[in-house]
Amino acid sequence: MSVAVIVFPGSNCDRDVAVCLAAALGEPPIMAWHGDHNLPKVDAIILPGGFSYGDYLRGGAIASKSPIMGEVIEAANRGVPVLGICNGFQILTESGLLPGVLMRNSGLKFICRDVALEVGNTDNAFLNAYQRGQHITMPIAHNEGNYFADADTLQRLEDEDRIVLRYAGGNPNGAQLNIAGIRNKAGNVIGMMPHPERLAEAVLGGEDGRGVFDSLVQTLGRS
């Protein structure tokens, strides 16, 4: 099984994600550069956090148009599991793979701290190691995490059970419906603002994030 981590200029969580993947999978992931037109055939793709293209224009806007994203979109449409973390989530909304947009935090401050989360739908490649309703902790670190979508889209997300993570200990950024993570209709594309890779081993102060990588191993092992 092989997993690709897409590296954009300004990504800064790519190596942390690679460490977590290597620990869970037993082999290092493929690090794929944003300018590549050819993505090797992989079983899953992760878009890591960071500040791709310096967040110019809008967070994730320019990265979503980079050459490799054409390949990522094609893979996503084929059903390959794709996870976007933080800036990766912003890239997924900007690319149209996920609905809505991540706006500036309502308090206008960059927020970097652990937050309490409640797990929603776990029927996907990145959250199946958790239980629905489980309360977990993960760090957030963002300036644009304020999830916004029109009323129809929000209703659809609720009706189709596509909210995978919600803020549970107060809403840090103004996100509608306390949304911290969503999935696409097919369920293979997930975006989340919290950083599982930053709390995935005991030495970091907790292991609540490790389930994301364990989920992927379970999924790929099963398929």
Partner 1 sequence: MKAVIRITLKNGVLDPQGKAIETALGQLGFSGVDDVRQGKLVELSLAETDPEKARQQLTQICEKLLANTVIENYDIELVS
Q: Is 118 exposed, middle or buried (0-12, 13-18, 19+ CB in 10 A)?
A: middle
Task: For residue 112, indicate whether it is catalytic.
Answer: no
Please state whether 10 falls in left (phi above 0), alpha (psi between -120 and 50) or beta.
left
104 near partner 1, rule: CB under 8 A = yes
Residues of this chain, 158-177, that bind partner 1 according to CB under 8 A: 174
Shortest CA distance to 69 belongs to which of 50, 100, 51, 95?
Answer: 95
Shortest CA distance to 31 belongs to which of 21, 79, 215, 213?
Answer: 21
Q: What single letter denotes the amino acid at residue 100?
A: G
- Counting every residue written for the chain, the total comes to 223
Q: Which is nearer to partner 1, 25 or 180 (CB)?
A: 180
Q: Which is nearer to partner 1, 51 or 213 (CB)?
A: 51
Question: Residues 58, 77, 171, 187: which binds partner 1 (CB under 8 A)?
Answer: 58
Question: Residues 4, 62, 82, 180: which binds partner 1 (CB under 8 A)?
Answer: 62
Rg of the chain in Å (alpha carbons): 16
Closest contact distance (angstroms) between CB of 154 and partner 1 is 12
111 near partner 1, rule: CB under 8 A = no
Q: What single letter denotes the amino acid at residue 137?
A: T
For 137, the token pair is 């902790």
116 near partner 1, rule: CB under 8 A = no
Considering 20, 86, 94, 142, which one is annotated as catalytic?
A: 86
Q: Which is nearer to partner 1, 116 or 148 (CB)?
A: 148
Q: Choose the binding region for partner 1 from 31-39, 94-102, 112-120, 125-133 (rule: CB under 8 A).
A: 94-102
Residues of this chain, 16-55, that bind partner 1 according to CB under 8 A: none
Helix, strand or coil, per DSSP, at residue 204: helix
69 near partner 1, rule: CB under 8 A = no
Closest contact distance (angstroms) between CB of 14 and partner 1 is 24
Q: Which is nearer to partner 1, 88 or 211 (CB)?
A: 88
186 near partner 1, rule: CB under 8 A = no
Cβ–Cβ under 8 Å, residues 117 and 135: yes
d(CA 223, CA 214): 14
Shortest CA distance to 130 belongs to which of 216, 189, 195?
Answer: 216
Q: Which is nearer to partner 1, 65 or 132 (CB)?
A: 65
Positions touching partner 1 (CB under 8 A) are: 57-58, 61-62, 65, 93-94, 99-101, 103-108, 146, 148-150, 174
Active site residues: 86, 195, 197
